[in-house]
Structure 1
Amino acid sequence: MTQAALTAFFGWMAVLHIGVLLFATCMIFGLRGWITDVHAKLTGVEKDTLAPLYFQWLGTYKLLIFVFALVPWLALTIM
């Protein structure tokens, strides 16, 4: 693979994952009551415990996007 192809790959991967992150964030905050009810029934976790778990998941996903998509794209762009 060429550097241009890798740069494009990591760029589009970052765009895709940021879109998923924004969609998940909007769904969690926009439909909080309904999503909390569904997840509480599916997993057996109490509703009060789910809010910190949502923030932890969103933060972890954002960190993974930075490490595995944005940083490689930025490094390849700078080269």
Structure 2
Amino acid sequence: MSTLINVIAPLLYMVCFAVILGGAFALMTQTLRSGQQVPAPRRRHPEAPNPGEEVMVIDLSRERLEQLYQQASSAGQGA
């Protein structure tokens, strides 16, 4: 029984080693190949503004909201 294990263990080790070595080599070759390819240009979103166009921005910072709240409350008191 022990001789069977002494024969199978090194063979199993060599098979696992070969699988890992093959995977590492395949990964290395794919990485080298992908560096040579020119990436495709990214498509613009259809709603993205064109260069030079103005964009409306909503400021929801805490300071701005407090300022708007104070303006609304003071306008309500004067009426």
TM-score by shorter chain over 0.5? no
Which of the pair is proportionally richer in helix?
1
Q: Which has the higher contact order (CA 8 A, sep 6+)?
A: 1
Q: Under a length normalisation based on structure 2, what TM-score does the superposition of the two structures give?
A: 0.38
Larger Rg: 2
Q: Under a length normalisation based on structure 1, what TM-score does the superposition of the two structures give?
A: 0.38
